[in-house]
A = this chain, B = another copy of it.
């Protein structure tokens, strides 16, 4: 498997309009855009940062993974997204190594394919894999 970079670090927030003050106005990151990501039941604010991004993720459904994360642990870093060259091959390799996956096959979205690795298999780190299309 070829991991090429950190695509983004996702931060779970209760309210993007409040949380973005710190990242935008205090840290001085530039907000690229805010987008509803329906498949993730979330509103996401994208802040490019060098060759990666910081993404603020506000759940729009109280049953979503991000909402439950906030209920349990409070807002904070939610997951690390690594970009890979070939996500289908990566998932096959992970399965062959008995790595537990949240998405057994890649989910195709606008411009990318993605899958989550279960934190039980990655030392408590929720890892998202991305392949840009």
Contact = CB atoms under 8 A, between A and B. Distances in A.
A5 B50 contact: yes
Given A26-B97, A27-B82, A52 B5 contact: yes
A121 B9 CA distance: 18
Interface string A106-131: 00000000000001011111000000
Identical copies of this chain, number: 2
B22 A121 contact: yes
Interface of A: 1-6, 9, 11, 13, 19, 22, 26-29, 49-52, 54, 73-77, 79-80, 82-83, 93-94, 97, 99, 119, 121-125
Given A22-B99, A27-B82, A77-B77, 5 more contacts: A9-B80, A26-B97, A74-B124, A75-B124, A77-B124
